[in-house]
Amino acid sequence: MSTVTVDGVEVEMEAGATLLDAAKAAGRWVPTLCFDERQAPFGACRVCLVGLADSPKPVPACTTPCRDGMEVETEQPAARRVAGAVVELALSELPGRPAAGTELARVAERLDVTEPRWPGAVHERRGDLRHPYLALQHELCISCGRCVRACDEVQGAFALTATGRGFEANIAAGLDAGFEDSTCVSCGACADTCPTDAITEIGLLPQLSEE
Amino acid sequence: MSQNLVELIRRRHAVQAPTALDVLKEAVDDHGEVTDADRVHAAELSGLPEAAVYGVSTFYDDLLAPRGRRHVRVCTGTACFAAAGEAPLEQIGAGLGLKPGERDAEGSVSLAETVCLGFCHSSPAVRDGETIDAGTGVIDRVLGSATRAAPEPEWESLLPEPVLTRPGDWAGLRRALTELDPETLLSEVEAAEVRGRGGAGFPAGTKWHFARDAAGEEKFIVANGDEGDPGSYIDKYLMERSPELVLEGMALAGLAVGAGHGFVLCRSEYPLSKPALETAAASARAEGLLGEGILGTGFDFDVTVIEGAGSYVVGEETALLACIQGLRGTVSARPPFPAERGIQGMPTVVNNIETLANIPYVAARGAGAYHGLSPDSETAGSKLVCFNQCFARPSVYEVPFGATVRKLCQEVAGGLRDGATIKAVQIGGPLGGILPASLLDTRFDFDALAAVGCMVGHGSILAFDESTSMREVATHLLRFGADESCGKCFPCRIGLHRAHEEFASGAPVDRERLEQLLETLELGSLCAHGSGMPAPLRSLLEHFPEELGLE
């Protein structure tokens, strides 16, 4: 057990708990994009940064274990500045705005991030509609790894992978020949967790494009 | 790293299955590219899911560029850039009629970029098949199909008695096995304050202590030979000239922490390193210095040498562990640290090659003697430094810590060749700060360099002469940074690409937005690649702002 203070609220945390768990226990909001409570923390998006007393740099809440006596500030200025800047970078790689209601759109709104100021390259549009239920729009992928981990940790189907590196990073099903030619069992866990609807139910596509 | 995939690999390792990366590399060696049939085959042999194998096949440079019967790789590292700018790749590409990453229709010739071949002492360098040629006239020799192996420089120690530039004699391991027990050896390494030579400077003894205390059925030692820092060819020399010293250091680490097996990961850009290490390991086994019951004691330790496949970030320790296990070389969040959960989920020590090469001296002579090697510095031990082609006597030198950078540049390496003057030096690799000529009197050690925004890093000292454009340096470094980002964390994956776009555009760079981006990279990145790339940019902003085209 450890006692952690989050924005002045003391919480008792079990061994193995993270600062994100502590923030939730204290009723405080911390932005996240790559986190899904059904999966092991991944630490990729870096928008869950929080201030920590006596730490020169903000720390990622999702991968930092609680230690007794820690004092966390969720809205520390540097942490929130970086979180906003990262969300702006994520928006800048998409060819259009994320659909309203997606986790990315909601986090951006809450952090007051509007139009990205980076005019450079965006992901090339590449839609894969070969599966009867699951649509994969590669250009909307922000490489958060949630679909890959859902397939690995939740479903155990191992049908998805991260691909490429750097700005070209993306995802693929199987040998990149679509869900049907992979070990996909059509469970939909990937679509359920995707924060941008890069993977979604085909039936929802017309609705998304109207928005 | 996926715990499920690591568990799959652990089970396959027990039956000595090859890793997926091994199988994919063999496919490229055999027929010049990775096909879907190769991926399916790699999945069957390694036990990894097909999708995971696909992910691996899209990550490493060596698996991505198709190869013709003649495969030409042009080094675009920072030393080659300082010597010749973009000319080698442009001219060789034009001469062969190929862009980087292309192969001609007949499959006879192919062209790729590579960073870096470790011939920074005689840049520019090109690898033509298995031959690495370098220096004046190399472009003409490549285009005339007349390449020849470039000479390797001789190294030199400026210490009264060489510590690192000597052949290994296994005296440290002999003493440790006869006169010391593992606890005493560990205490000696802790007292010696051996700091990591790979960049971060973390105390080796502390790392060992964590691994010794961690619970695990097995423990592993990993020697990080992924010296990807352009401009550095120090670990290359240790692996190729003194492989015994590295192996002895690994065995000592194994003895101190209770590990029975070690892995060396060396780079595919250094084709001589793996054979040199394997030959030395075979000799050591024959002499009873590796294997079971070393020197007649109950200590067992052996080593496997693995070659990477082209990725800078694999030099980061968690990415290195992923690569050794044949996975995508992406970084994992710490904790858990490798000392708790590394290879096959077991406690693992990851030390840089040069760090390990320091250990035999500590074991043989003790911590006191080790502290005496650098009387003018707080940093213990000695350091290998190396210089780029712009210097009159570029080579690898063993120096004590504490000399000024000016002394190293002028007296040790002879100043710049052809009467050129130093405009600035970048120390320790692409994540190191850039020291302008006005600050050359800074002392070369961990603390003094950190105070001016620089670092010891890998120990490379790379000079830019007066003709160098600092905007071009910034563009070059950011291109490297963006190309090599593993793609895991958002700040590095997107931010370095944006920073490179800004500098490459030719348009004025918005200083305020750039500084916000540097802060995002520094505070937000998952590993030292993203958080370190701003260091040289900060130096350029401080010392050469007028050259960067800022607004």
Q: How far is CA B332 from the centre of its chain?
A: 18
Residues B34 and B24: their CA atoms lie apart, in Å, by 6
- Same domain (yes/no): B354, B433: no
**B411: which 2 tokens?**
């007296």
> What is residue B10's predicted lDDT score, i.e. its pLDDT?
85
- Same domain (yes/no): B389, B282: no
B16 interface with A at CB cutoff 8 Å:
no
- Residue A167 and residue B497: Cβ atoms within 8 Å? yes
Within 8 A by CB and 6+ apart from A72, the residues are A4, A5, A6, A7, A19, A22, A23, A50, A51, A52, A53, A61
- Same domain (yes/no): B10, B107: no
Pairing outcome for strands A160-163 and A59-60: unpaired
User: Which residue on chain A is closest to B333 by alpha carbon?
Assistant: A43
> What is residue B95's predicted lDDT score, i.e. its pLDDT?
98
How is residue A152 annotated by DSSP? I
**Residue among A42, A84, A59 nearest A193 (CA):** A42
Q: What angle do CA B235, B237, B243 make, to 5 degrees?
A: 85
Q: DSSP for A115-146? A: S-S--S--PPP-EE--SSSEEEEGGG-----H
Smallest Cβ distance to A166: which of B39, B482, B524?
Answer: B482
Output the domain CATH number for residue B496: 1.20.1440.230
B122 interface with A at CB cutoff 8 Å:
no
Contact at 8 Å (CB) between A44 and A28? no
Q: Which residues of chain A have a CB within 8 Å of the CB of B489?
A: 43-46
Q: Which residues of chain A have a CB within 8 Å of the CB of B58?
A: 163-165, 172
- Residue B49 and residue A49: Cβ atoms within 8 Å? no
Q: What angle do CA B314, B319, B324 make, to 5 degrees?
A: 85
B54 interface with A at CB cutoff 8 Å:
yes
Looking at B252-381, which runs of residues are DSSP E strands? 261-266, 302-307, 348-352
Q: For residue B305, tell me if it sits in a domain.
A: yes
How many CB contacts within 8 angstroms connect chain A with chain B? Answer: 156
Rounded to a whole number, what is the distance in angstroms from the first to the last CA of chain B? 42
Q: Which residues of chain A have a CB within 8 Å of the CB of B64?
A: none
Strand order in the sheet with A59-60: A9-13, A2-6, A71-73, A49-52, A59-60
Q: Work out the burial of residue B479: count CB atoms within 10 Å of its CB; fewer than 13 is exposed, 13-18 middle, 19 or more buried.
A: buried
The third-level CATH classification (topology) of the domain covering A127-210 is Alpha-Beta Plaits (3.30.70)
Output the domain CATH number for residue B409: 3.10.20.600
- Same domain (yes/no): B178, B249: yes
Residues B29 and B27: their CA atoms lie apart, in Å, by 5
B483 interface with A at CB cutoff 8 Å:
yes
> What is residue B1's predicted lDDT score, i.e. its pLDDT?
84
Count, residues in chain A: 211
- Same domain (yes/no): B81, B214: no
Residues B293 and B301: their CA atoms lie apart, in Å, by 8
Within 8 A by CB and 6+ apart from B16, the residues are none
Smallest Cβ distance to B485: which of A160, A165, A173?
Answer: A165
- Residue A63 and residue B523: Cβ atoms within 8 Å? no
B402 interface with A at CB cutoff 8 Å:
no
- Same domain (yes/no): B197, B329: yes
Q: What is the ipTM of this complex?
A: 0.97
- Residue A169 and residue B487: Cβ atoms within 8 Å? yes
Mean pLDDT per block of 10 residues along chain A (211 residues) reads 97 97 98 97 98 96 98 98 98 95 97 94 95 96 98 96 98 96 96 97 76 48
Q: What is the dihedral of CA B230, B231, B235, B238, to 10 degrees?
A: 150
**What would you measure as the largest C-alpha separation in chain B, in angstroms?**
70
**A150: which 2 tokens?**
């859902």
Question: Reduced to 3 DSSP states, what percent helix, strand and coil does chain B have, rounded to the nearest 5?
Answer: 45, 15, 40
Contact at 8 Å (CB) between B194 and B252? no
Smallest Cβ distance to A143: which of B333, B493, B496?
Answer: B493
- Residue B483 and residue A58: Cβ atoms within 8 Å? no
Q: For residue B311, tell me if it sits in a domain.
A: yes
> What is residue B200's predicted lDDT score, i.e. its pLDDT?
81
B residues 313-342 lying closer than 8 A (beta carbon) to A? 328, 330, 332-335
Q: Which residues of chain A have a CB within 8 Å of the CB of B521?
A: none
> What is residue B306's predicted lDDT score, i.e. its pLDDT?
97
Residue range A1-122 in CATH 3.10.20.740: yes
**Residue among B190, B269, B260 nearest B229 (CA):** B269
Structural domain including B10 reads 3-58
Residues B222 and B265: their CA atoms lie apart, in Å, by 8
User: Which residue on chain B is closest to A168 by alpha carbon?
Assistant: B487
Listed in order, the ranges of chain A carrying CATH 3.10.20.740 are: 1-122
- CA B549 to chain A, closest CA, distance in angstroms equals 18
B46 interface with A at CB cutoff 8 Å:
no
Listed in order, the ranges of chain A carrying CATH 3.30.70.20 are: 127-210
pLDDT per residue, tens digit, chain B (551 aa), is: 889 998 888 888 877 899 999 999 999 999 999 999 999 999 999 999 999 999 999 999 999 999 999 999 999 999 999 999 999 999 999 999 999 999 999 999 999 999 999 999 999 999 999 999 999 999 999 999 999 999 999 899 999 999 999 999 999 999 999 999 999 999 999 999 999 998 888 999 999 999 999 999 999 999 999 998 999 999 999 999 999 999 999 999 999 999 999 999 999 999 999 999 999 999 999 999 999 999 999 999 999 999 999 999 999 999 999 999 999 999 999 999 999 999 999 999 999 999 999 999 999 999 999 999 999 888 999 999 999 999 999 999 999 999 999 999 999 999 999 999 999 999 999 999 999 999 999 999 999 999 999 999 999 999 999 999 999 999 999 999 999 999 999 999 999 999 999 999 999 999 999 999 999 999 999 999 999 999 999 999 999 999 999 99
What pLDDT, in 10s, does the model give residues A118-172?
999 999 999 999 999 999 999 999 999 999 999 999 999 999 999 999 999 999 9
What pLDDT, in 10s, does the model give residues B268-315?
999 999 999 999 999 999 999 999 999 999 999 999 999 999 999 999
B489 interface with A at CB cutoff 8 Å:
yes
Residues B349 and B248: their CA atoms lie apart, in Å, by 15
- CA B28 to chain A, closest CA, distance in angstroms equals 17
Contact at 8 Å (CB) between B178 and B421? no
- Residue B55 and residue A49: Cβ atoms within 8 Å? no
Residues A4 and A17: their CA atoms lie apart, in Å, by 10
B253 interface with A at CB cutoff 8 Å:
no
Beta-carbon-side half-sphere exposure of residue A96 (alpha carbons within 13 Å): 11
User: Which residue on chain B is closest to A153 by alpha carbon?
Assistant: B4
- Same domain (yes/no): B283, B398: no
- Residue A176 and residue B54: Cβ atoms within 8 Å? yes
Q: Which residues of chain B have a CB within 8 Å of the CB of A122?
A: none
Rg (CA), chain A: 18
User: Which residue on chain A is closest to B485 by alpha carbon?
Assistant: A166
Helical H segments across B59-192, by residue range: 61-64, 78-84, 87-96, 138-143, 171-178, 182-192
Smallest Cβ distance to A162: which of B328, B334, B491?
Answer: B328
- Residue B494 and residue A174: Cβ atoms within 8 Å? no
**B188: which 2 tokens?**
């000696």
The letter for the amino acid at B124 is P
- Same domain (yes/no): B351, B392: no
Within 8 A by CB and 6+ apart from B322, the residues are B1, B314, B328, B329, B330, B332
- Same domain (yes/no): B285, B349: yes
- Same domain (yes/no): B177, B214: yes
Output the domain CATH number for residue B179: 3.40.50.11540
